[in-house]
Amino acid sequence: MNSMAADAWATRGGAVKWPELSEGLLRLRPATADDAESWHAIRSHAGPWQSPLQSVAAARELLLAMAAEPPFTPGWRQFLLLEGADIVGDIGLNWPAYGDYAEIGFELAPAARGRGLAQRAVRLLGSWLLDSAGLLGVVAITHTDNKAARAVLLEAGLLPCADSGLAARFDLQPHERLHLMARPADA
């Protein structure tokens, strides 16, 4: 464990596995190797904003490697976003990427876009990370040209913060911008 948050989680006698989160019909659950095909399909429509998965087999290998890691050890984990029974998107979580800050990345299947689902999913996971998992903040890195992702992050309550002290922890390119959802100081 490399962070205060992880220690806090352990001493709280917290969960032994990644949670499933839901709000109305929307559900976030940890991805398993059986989700490789869905994950690969969604990622193949992410355009230039996410690195593509080479194949379904490569996606499965990655999911198996993630599942082999004990929960709450540092590294990327994948969650799938469902609306009812339909898989509509995914959120990647880098736990905890930078001290007590997690990083997230997300995408929706094209048919699920334009209805605010990503914003709700980011809020859902972000609230759990801050309120239940004890992290101090959630960060996401987007290209300034990625208008939809920037709008999603701002609407979900993340603040643009390229100039914050956190930025120094990233190798930020001039065209990238860091967004931050932070626990209020008095929380």
Point out which residues bind ligand COA (CB under 6 A): 46-47, 49-50, 105-108, 113-119, 140, 142, 146-149, 151-152, 155
Q: How far is the CB of 13 from ligand COA (least distance, A)?
A: 34
Return the DSSP state at 74.
S
Q: Which is nearer to ligand COA, 32 or 119 (CB)?
A: 119
3-state secondary structure of 22: strand
Please identify, using beta-carbon distances, which residue of 24 and 70 lies nearer to ligand COA. Answer: 24
Choose between 125 and 149: whose C-beta lies nearer to ligand COA. 149
Minimum Å gap between C-beta 104 and ligand COA is 8
| Residue 94 Cβ vs ligand COA, minimum distance, rounded to whole Å | 12
d(CA 149, CA 144): 9
Residue type for position 35: D
Tell me how far, at minimum, the Cβ of 164 lies from ligand COA, in Å: 18
Angle among Cα 72, 58, 68 to the nearest 5 degrees reads 25
Neighbouring C-alpha atoms within 13 Å toward the C-beta of 176:
11
Between 14 and 29, whose beta carbon lies closer to ligand COA?
A: 29
First-to-final CA distance of the chain: 24
